[in-house]
Amino acid sequence: MDKYLGNKRALLDSIHTAVTSHAPRAKSICDVFAGTTNVGRHFRQRGFDVISNDCNRFSFVLGVAYLCLRAWPDFDRIECVGKPSAGTIERLHQTFLAAARRDAGQTFPEDRAEDSWNNLKPYWHIIAYLNELPPVTGGYIFENFTLWGKKSKFLSVRGTEGKRNYFSKENAERLDAILTTIRAWWDEGRLTETEVHLLMASVLEEVTIVANVNGTFHDFNRDRLWPNSLQSLHLRIPLIAPSATSSQANCADALAVGERLANYEILYLDPPYNFRQYTAYYHLLNFIAAYPFLPDIESYLAKLEFVRGQNMEDDFASDFCFRDRFVDALGELIDSMPCKYVCMSYYGGRNHWNHWSHKNRPTDEGILTLGDFFGDSGRFRGCEVFPALQVRRNYQSRVGEKKEFVDEHFFFAEKRSRARLAQTRNTDPILQINEKLGLGRFHSYATGRFQNPLPGFLSNKTAAYVA
């Protein structure tokens, strides 16, 4: 999911260097704004115990699929679904090997690609079957999110009328067929918890490739289908392999998850630095992630609003997306976490302190503000600030603006006390949203030593899922 806003793939080596040079004995890390889970995947491959968290359900699905796999999946509850064509299987094979080459060892060992492919035969057999399903006419994606749908009309706050244009007709019909089948398999008890997340990870990653959007799902290309969206939707096999390391995937507000976690050493932070509310910017991925589990899909879709088509009961505003709350929220978060070190990425582009679309360079206000925060000797024993990449291109620049060079830095600090302070928030808004929608399973999935987090953190309606 390299199109994800703020994706840290380009910084993985720099993050690794920052962690291993400042805490060479550390073997556990928590990424509390996990997004694509690339940071966790990078460290898991290198033997770290990994915890991931994000307010978005799609990130939880990726966390289960990429971070929590303990054994090769066998999909033995699904009876023979027919023999896919050799061409479909070979295409899956080649795209898997090509993805491993592109990854170049960042999150997956390239030299194990062929061995992993062979061990994933039951998985790619199912994916090949899904890729060959006949299209479904009039499905939920088609009707609500395409130009041809009967329920895709919108009226903007400015009075503009139109239809949502997230997918081509062909891809919407194929996506509906795939999602309907996975949902039926889950309802019939033919998929394990791990297996359904593996299938949904394949779906989510393909949707980001073929959706008619510019990186986020807050809007779509109104007038036409862009070339990427005219590609035929074709599910792929994620770069996955089992690991004996401990792992945990969480779907929670970062400010409410700390008390649920066992001790770990490194807290990695890449918080939102601007107004963008990520549950709104990735609402469609979060809906798709929930598709197999929603008790009533039609009721959920009946509440879609705005041009983008989001159910506003399924939304969350993070304190980190407000300038006047950011620093206090950062302190609250770090104090609540049972870690020894904090490593934070700071993106010096357009953020709370830099609105510089008409300037060549950002100001230093943000880095000075955060420098003062990490300079608090009552909270930290010490802190170092250093460039992550001296300059890198801002590939998420807005349409019509030049792609600027921007600075990115790391803050690396040691906490004075590893003990977590009592959290001032008694509720987790993400858990409340998911439970209200009948999606309490989007909470925590754990393996190894993380499978028994602090007692009492779960409500009576939910339970931690253990691989």
Q: What is the pLDDT of residues 341-376, one digit of tens each?
A: 999 999 887 888 886 545 556 678 899 999 999 999
What value does the mean pLDDT of the chain take? 89
Domains of the chain: 1-71+245-267+316-346+372-467 (3.40.50.150), 87-241+278-311 (no CATH)
Q: What is the pLDDT of residue 392?
A: 42
The three-state secondary structure class of 131 is: helix
What is the biggest distance separating any 2 CA atoms in the chain, rounded to whole angstroms? 65
Q: What is the pLDDT of residue 457?
A: 43
Q: What is the pLDDT of residue 145?
A: 98
Claim: this prediction has a pTM higher than 0.85? yes
Q: What is the pLDDT of residue 52?
A: 98
Could you give the count of Cα atoms lying within 13 Å of 72 in the half-sphere of its Cβ?
11
Higher pLDDT among residues 401 and 264, named by residue? 264
Q: What is the pLDDT of residue 159?
A: 86
Higher pLDDT among residues 459 and 414, named by residue? 414
- The beta strands (E) that lie in 179-335 are given as 247-251, 266-269, 304-305, 310-311
Segment 422-451 shows an average pLDDT of: 89
Segment 192-215 shows an average pLDDT of: 96
Q: What is the pLDDT of residue 389?
A: 66
Q: What is the pLDDT of residue 388?
A: 80
> Percent of the chain at pLDDT above 70?
88
Closest CA to 462 of 314, 298, 293, 246: 293
Segment 4-12 shows an average pLDDT of: 70
Has residue 163 got a pLDDT over 50?
yes
83: confidence class by pLDDT, cuts 50, 70, 90: confident
398: confidence class by pLDDT, cuts 50, 70, 90: very low
pLDDT in tens, 429-439: 999 999 999 99
> Percent of the chain at pLDDT above 90?
77
* Count of residues making up the chain: 467
pLDDT in tens, 204-223: 999 999 999 988 999 999 98
Burial class (CB in 10 A: 0-12, 13-18, 19+), 131: buried
391: confidence class by pLDDT, cuts 50, 70, 90: very low
Angle at 263 between CA 195 and CA 421, to 5 degrees: 120
Question: Alpha-carbon distance 201 to 7, whole Å?
Answer: 17
And the tokens for 352? Answer: 């709370």
Has residue 242 got a pLDDT over 70?
yes
